[in-house]
Chain A
Amino acid sequence: MASRMPLRYSKKVIELFRNPVNMGPMEDADVVVVEGSPACGDMIAFYLKVRDNRIEKITFESYGCAANIAAASMLTMMTQGKTLEEAWRITWKELDEALGGLPKIKYHCSALAVGALKKAIRKYIEEHGIDAPWLPRKKVYEEEAVEEYYKEKEQLYQEILGSEKKTKESKKEE
């Protein structure tokens, strides 16, 4: 059951929300990643153009709150021109700091953005068979966080739609 909460956004968040940088889809992207979903209320897309293991161009789209839009935009600013390795090393905490500190309840916005970017980098490296000894074989925190977040949301969704879904499933079994 939802209760409201006050949100204290930094000037940086509002500024980026107002004038997002690197916004919009990219026709000739080498890798595109979409994380989150409309049902979650957060959804981020990143479009990356990579040359010689360097992010030559990165753009974003975001369906979500002001923090979500600002986080995605800020992350594109932090990674544009960086090597894949440098971009990989950015943590959600660093993004949060760059945004002037998100309200605690909005931490998942920077985790979602960083997790989505890491997924894009991992995908690109795997698909292109690039030798990247710095890439951990196990998923890191942000990648896990993105998935955990879905699970929670999915569970919630299931609970609310529970009765309806159950009847559908039982019909199938019959």
Chain B
Amino acid sequence: MREVYLDVENSGFVLPEVLEAMKPYYYVRGYGNPAIPHKPGQEALEVFDMVSEKVLEALNSDDGNIIFTADDTESNNLAIIGYSLANRRKGKRIIVSSIEHQSVLFPAEWLSKEFGFEVVKILVDSEGFVKIDELEKSITKDTILVSIGLGNYEIGTIQDLKAISEVVKDRNPETVIHSDATSAFTWVPIDPDKLGIDMITISSHKILGPKGVSALFARKGVRLGRILHGAVSTQPLRPGVENIPALAGFGKAIEIALSNWNERIRKVKGLRDTLMERILGEIDYTLLNGPRGDKRLPNNLNISFLYVEGEALTIELSLRGIYVATGSACTMRELEPSHVLIAIGRKHEEAHGSILFSLHSRLSREDIEYVIKQLKEAVNRLREISAWKPGKEVIKPGEIYRGGKHGK
């Protein structure tokens, strides 16, 4: 059976070249602690320096600080908590968008609960774009931090960060702007100077690099506090031993992504567009979540399949070798559907049937053809089973139908 992986947004496989780049650092060289001046330590330090340079190159910056962490969640926590606590004397207002990832929203909420910060969530329009006029109104003298993701991890909306930063800095030049660019990294150019932003989160495991390594870029002069405490070695802001083999892999994954930029994006965008147009054109009762065109991440597609529940569809597709994710409540700890889909105005029953397809460079036309064919069959099968059928009004909780007339 063909296997098609369409979930790099939640993590992914590692390219063979990346794995090869990592291997020696487990047992041949550079396996020491980079803070110790022996040869295996110094070789590790070389990797650390080299990958720092690569990240700066990828972000088109030459004077930022790079802090390597264990995951994008940690980088976002360091940005939100590390900045806010170190600068709390300047003010206590933090602004985020309502469609941020949990690793941005939860630390902000934690700061509000534990330290009395005021967290303002800016609403988005039906395509997921931050309402800039609302953002403008909410910037006060007290606002120390704004965190708005560059490309949304679920519906692919690419925010106009340049316009956002202009509005923010115009109202309060002291306000620092962080952007979780984890999903956008290697899919749209990121340049902190051009965008006017101060901190950026990027990660390895979404760009076909290994798990366990992420980076936070912080402009020089942005004062951060530690969120982890222990023996400081290579990185003053982040105690602990760096994951050097994973760093080497991250560096390789960045190198590959930079070297095939145009051709990779053209190819993936083409495959994504085919998948999108054919699903919307050939499968009934489908809704596109998020924008069309250049304002959408080229590898992101999110579609709601009505009359089908997303977890069931995810499992059904998996049994057919197709691996996707859903924003349905049924895969969630609190049994609530995705807050991103609710924020753009989707009804619960629309969010429950949502499927996130996140594409990558190693897909072929044949893979996409296979997905379309299998998807049609899978949706049809589950719609046959479904108690919620097209043309039938949404049944209110507690309503009971009697007799044999149901469903006609």
Residues of A within 8 A of B (CB): 1-5, 7, 9, 14, 17-18, 20, 23-45, 47, 60-69, 105, 119, 123, 127, 147, 150, 153-154, 156-157, 160
Contacts and interface: CB of A to CB of B under 8 A. Distances in A.
A13 B34 CA distance: 49
B330 A41 contact: yes
Nearest to B383: A63
Contacts of A69: 312, 385
B397 A154 contact: yes
A41 B79 CA distance: 35
Report, as a range, how many residues of chain B touch the other chain.
Answer: 35 or more
Given A2-B336, A150-B398, 9 more contacts: A1-B105, A2-B329, A31-B402, A35-B400, A44-B387, A45-B406, A47-B406, A63-B386, A64-B312
A123 B402 CA distance: 9
Contacts of A26: 404
A35 B396 CA distance: 9
A4 B333 contact: yes
Task: Identify whether the interface residues of B are mostly helix, strand, loop, or mixed.
Answer: loop
Contact of A18 (B319, B330, B404): B319
5 contacts: A3-B334, A5-B332, A34-B400, A42-B309, A63-B387
A64 B398 contact: no
Contacts of A32: 401-404, 406
A34 B395 contact: yes
Nearest to B396: A37
B347 A39 contact: yes
Contact of A38 (B102, B388, B406): B388
Interface of B: 102, 105-106, 307-309, 311-312, 315-316, 319, 328-339, 342, 347-349, 352, 384-388, 394-404, 406-407
Given A26-B404, A39-B348, A1 B398 contact: no
B400 A3 contact: no
Contacts of A1: 102, 105-106, 334, 336, 339
B385 A23 contact: yes
Nearest to A73: B385
A152 to B, nearest CB: 9
A25 B386 CA distance: 10
A127 B348 contact: no
A19 B402 CA distance: 27
A65 B397 contact: no
Given A34-B395, A61-B387, A65-B312, A27 B336 contact: no
Contacts of A65: 309, 311-312, 315, 328, 330
Contacts of B311: 7, 65-66
Contacts of A60: 387
A119 B400 contact: yes
A34 B349 contact: no
B328 A25 contact: no
Nearest to A157: B348
Contacts of B388: 38, 43, 63
Nearest to B405: A32
Given A33-B400, A66-B315, A119-B400, A156 B331 contact: no
Contact of B387 (A14, A27, A34, A105): A34
Contact of A68 (B309, B319, B397): B309
